[in-house]
Chain A
Amino acid sequence: MPFLKVDNACVSFPLHLDDHGRSFRVSLLKMLGLHRKSPARNYKRALIDIKFTARKGDRIGLIGRNGSGKTTLLRALNGIYEPESGRIIRSGQQVSLINITLGMDMNASGINNIFLRGLRMQMSREQMMLKLGDIVDFTELGEAINQPVRTYSSGMVARLALGIATAIPAEIVLMDEWISAGDSRFIERAQTRIEAYLTDEKILVLATHADSLIREWCNKVVVLEDGHMVSFTGVDEGLAIKEQVYAGTYPLPWKQ
Chain B
Amino acid sequence: MSNKLKQQAKFVSNDVGFTGTRGRWSSAVTDILELLTNLKYHTFLANQEVVNRYYRSVLGPLWMTIGTLTFVIGYATLAGFLFKLSIAEVIGYIATGAVFWTFISSALTEAAFLYPSSASEATSDRTNFLALSYKVLMRNLIAFLHAIPIILLVVGYFQGLTWWALLAIPGTILATLILLPLSLIISILAARFRDIGQLTITVTQFMFYMTPILWKPETLGNGMGQYIVIFNPFYYLIALVRDPLMGNKPDFMIWAVSAGIATFGFLIATLLYTRFRTRIIFWI
Contacts and interface: CB of A to CB of B under 8 A. Distances in A.
Nearest to B5: A85
A43 interface: yes
B38 A82 contact: no
B9 interface: yes
A80 B195 CA distance: 25
B174 interface: no
Contacts of A119: 41, 44
B193 A90 contact: no
Contacts of B218: none
B48 A87 contact: no
Contacts of A10: 5
Given A75-B123, A79-B126, A122-B38, A85 B8 contact: yes
9 contacts: A3-B19, A14-B283, A23-B195, A24-B194, A91-B17, A91-B18, A99-B125, A102-B125, A105-B48
A206 interface: no
Contact of B12 (A75, A78, A80, A85): A85
A88 interface: yes
A178 interface: no
B196 A24 contact: yes
B52 interface: yes
B278 interface: yes
Interface of A: 3, 9-10, 12-14, 17, 23-25, 27, 41, 43, 75-76, 78-91, 94, 96, 98-99, 102-103, 105, 107-108, 119-120, 122
Contact of B282 (A14, A27, A79, A122): A14
Given A12-B1, A96-B125, A99-B124, A87 B15 contact: yes
B27 interface: yes
Interface residues of B, number: 38
Given A87-B21, A107-B55, A119-B44, A82 B14 contact: yes
Contacts of B41: 119-120, 122
B16 interface: yes
Nearest to A10: B5
A203 B106 CA distance: 44
A85 B48 CA distance: 39
B124 A98 contact: yes
Given A80-B123, A84-B5, A17 B283 contact: yes
A227 to B, nearest CB: 13
Main secondary structure of the interface of A (DSSP, over half): mixed
B87 interface: no
Contact of A43 (B1, B44, B125, B281): B1
A98 B14 contact: no
Main secondary structure of the interface of B (DSSP, over half): loop
Contacts of A105: 48, 52
B14 A102 contact: no
A17 B192 CA distance: 8
Contact of B124 (A17, A27, A85, A102): A102
B121 A9 contact: no
Given A78-B125, A79-B17, A84-B5, 6 more contacts: A14-B283, A24-B195, A24-B196, A78-B126, A87-B12, A108-B48
B282 A13 contact: yes
Contact of A84 (B1, B17, B19, B126): B1
Nearest to B56: A107
Contact of B15 (A25, A80, A90, A120): A90
Contact of A85 (B9, B21, B125, B192): B9
B207 interface: no
B122 interface: yes
Contacts of A27: 193
Interface string B249-283: 00000000000000000000000000000110111
Contacts of A76: 14
Contact of B14 (A86, A91, A122): A86
B238 to A, nearest CB: 29
Given A24-B193, A78-B126, A88 B14 contact: yes
B13 interface: yes
B195 A25 contact: yes
Nearest to B124: A99
B144 to A, nearest CB: 22
Contacts of B282: 13-14, 17, 81
Contact of B121 (A13, A81, A82, A102): A102
Interface string B217-251: 00000000000000000000000000000000000
Nearest to A79: B126
Given A14-B282, A17-B283, A105-B48, A79 B5 contact: no
Contact of B1 (A41, A80, A108): A41
Contacts of B279: 14
Nearest to A90: B17
A90 B16 contact: yes
Given A85-B9, A85-B12, A80 B193 contact: no
A107 B52 CA distance: 7
